[in-house]
Amino acid sequence: HLFMNIQTNIMGTKLAISFAQTSPREKIQKWMLRGRDISKKHVDIFTKILLENDIQPPVSSDVAITNSTTPPFSDKLTMFHMAFMSAAGSGNYATAAAASQRNDLILNYERLALEIALYAKDGAELMIDHAWMEQPPPTIDKEQLTNKKDTMK
């Protein structure tokens, strides 16, 4: 699981920087760069664990990101793609934590999954702000309903 999560985070790093480089919107660029930084941090944490246990971590490919700033995809598509990858990453971390018998790894996965969830939440808010996603319906505040009574006539 550590090996696979390093690989997926390396891919996430490269996609995030590529999408940031081609986005014309500053808020989306910042969100993508934040995703890059989160992925890099997770790669570093997982790599350190493998190296401490004398296991060779995966090596990043030498694929280079071009210097193009022309967007090949819309910001809407790139945001949905990164949101999907964030959800998949959370699922991968939950699976890894459930399969692990080491408390230190379980704690790392849970802590890092929270970081991904907060990142994904901010991405969803960005998509809602740009009308690329609808605001999910909220739950009804039962306490507020209790205090608010219709008068019978």
Question: pLDDT of 108-152, one tens digit each?
Answer: 999 999 999 999 999 999 999 999 998 878 888 888 878 876 666
Q: Output the pLDDT for position 153.
A: 57
- Tell me the CA distances in angstroms from 44 to 18, 101, 110, one per residue in order: 20, 21, 16
Considering the segment(s) 2-147 as one domain, its CATH architecture is: Up-down Bundle (1.20)
Confidence of residue 48 (pLDDT cuts 50, 70, 90): very high
DSSP state of 50: H
Structure tokens belonging to residue 128: 């809602």
